[in-house]
Amino acid sequence: MNEKLAEQRIRTVCRDLIAGGERVTGRSLRRTLRERFGAVGKTARVFRIWREEVLASSVPSVMDEPADLHRRLQAAESSATENRARAERAEYREEAHQEHWAMEIDRLREQLRAQPKYAAEIRQLQEQVLRLSVELQVARSQLAERS
């Protein structure tokens, strides 16, 4: 049975998780919805509501103190710096990974090229398998004629 969660329920869960102070992920939101209501809702809809609530909770109100706004700005800049550094490390790891396997593939190709008899041996074995398959088929048909 596909239950549709009311938008207000999803928003309430989002606000509760955000108010908890921990980092809210899509998985944690969907897990909490399943625990509370036995359903998680459609992914696109839930994530749209989640993004709206995260955005709404991060917009400073006009009544905030300048010191609080300054603290929040520093926290956001710090978070942005950490995220950028994490992304750069991930990009570096990905490039290293790609280079490693490109070099490994190239090494193996060169190793194959260094074995000129290899391709000839494979062709010879394929021809032998084909010849034996034909002989087997002939033997089977002769056996079937005798029976």
Q: How many CB atoms lie within 10 A of CB 53?
A: 20
pTM score:
0.39
Q: Of 3, 35, 2, which Cα lies nearest the Cα of 16?
A: 35
Q: Of 24, 46, 44, 22, which Cα lies nearest the Cα of 34?
A: 46
Residue 77 pLDDT greater than 60, yes or no: yes
Q: How many CB atoms lie within 10 A of CB 5?
A: 19
Q: What is the mean pLDDT of the chain?
A: 87
Distance in angstroms (rounded) separating the CA atoms of residues 24 and 50: 9
Distance in angstroms (rounded) separating the CA atoms of residues 47 and 114: 55
Distance in angstroms (rounded) separating the CA atoms of residues 10 and 46: 7
Q: Of 8, 1, 10, 7, which Cα lies nearest the Cα of 36?
A: 10
Positive or negative torsion for Cα 46, 47, 50, 51? negative
Contact criterion met (CB below 8 Å) for 30 and 46:
yes
pLDDT in tens, 79-109: 999 999 999 999 999 999 999 999 999 999 8
**pLDDT confidence band for 17 (50 / 70 / 90):** confident
Higher-pLDDT residue of 42 and 58 is 42
Structure letter (DSSP) for residue 38: S
Q: Using CA atoms of 32, 36, 39, 42 in order, give the dihedral in degrees to the nearest 10.
A: -50
Distance in angstroms (rounded) separating the CA atoms of residues 43 and 40: 8
